[in-house]
């Protein structure tokens, strides 16, 4: 299996998960940043990870998602919000809509630690973004448990991919 793993990371949270994906998936893996704008054609599986800004994928990831060649895809996101929050779920849904010509085999939302300086700045806003109330629970994430959960979701996606062949 030939897999392209593309990620955008501001604080290192998404990069950490992208590296875990690279280490976990079988076959020939290629790890790239969205800034590199890698061509996504010719891969059996494409994994894209991004961080959230303003309730959606960061701008560079949004731009990249719109260019992805049709194929088998897995999306994951890191953010300060609870992984099950409406904020996080909406962001993944919007990303899926950008890649509607692809088959999304799975998604994963992961809470990621927010830098203290940034959190302090955002906490002074009125009104505060919806994820701020969840941010204290993000300290220390992504952790080993998050990586294990991501790997479990990836295993499901790979099983579906193999079943199609």
72-128 per-position pLDDT tens digit: 999 999 999 899 999 899 999 999 999 999 999 999 999 999 888 888 888 888 888
The CATH architecture to which 2-145 belongs is 3-Layer(aba) Sandwich (3.40)
What pLDDT sits at residue 109? 96
Tens of pLDDT, residue by residue over 13-57, are: 999 999 999 999 999 999 999 999 999 999 999 999 999 998 999
All structural domains of the chain with their residue ranges:
2-145
Average of per-residue pLDDT across 131-159: 94
Nearest by Cα to 76 from 102, 98, 109, 99:
109
Least confident of 6-10, 82-86, 128-132, 146-150: 128-132
pTM: 0.94
């Amino acid at each position: 299996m030939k897999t392209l793993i593309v990620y955008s990371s501001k604080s290192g949270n998404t990069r950490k998960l992208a590296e875990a994906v690279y280490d976990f998936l079988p076959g020939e893996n290629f790890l790239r940043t969205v800034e590199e704008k890698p061509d996504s054609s010719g891969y059996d599986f494409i994994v894209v990870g991004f961080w959230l800004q303003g309730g959606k994928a960061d701008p560079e990831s949004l731009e990249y998602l719109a260019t992805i060649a049709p194929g088998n895809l897995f999306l994951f996101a890191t953010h300060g919000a609870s992984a099950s929050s409406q904020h996080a779920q909406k962001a993944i849904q919007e990303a899926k809509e950008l890649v509607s010509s692809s088959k999304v085999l799975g998604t994963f939302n992961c809470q990621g630690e927010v830098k203290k300086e940034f959190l302090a700045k955002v906490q002074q806003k009125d009104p505060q973004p919806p994820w701020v109330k969840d941010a204290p629970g993000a300290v220390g994430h992504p952790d080993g448990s998050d990586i294990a959960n991501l790997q479990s979701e990836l295993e499901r996606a790979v099983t579906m991919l193999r079943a199609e062949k």
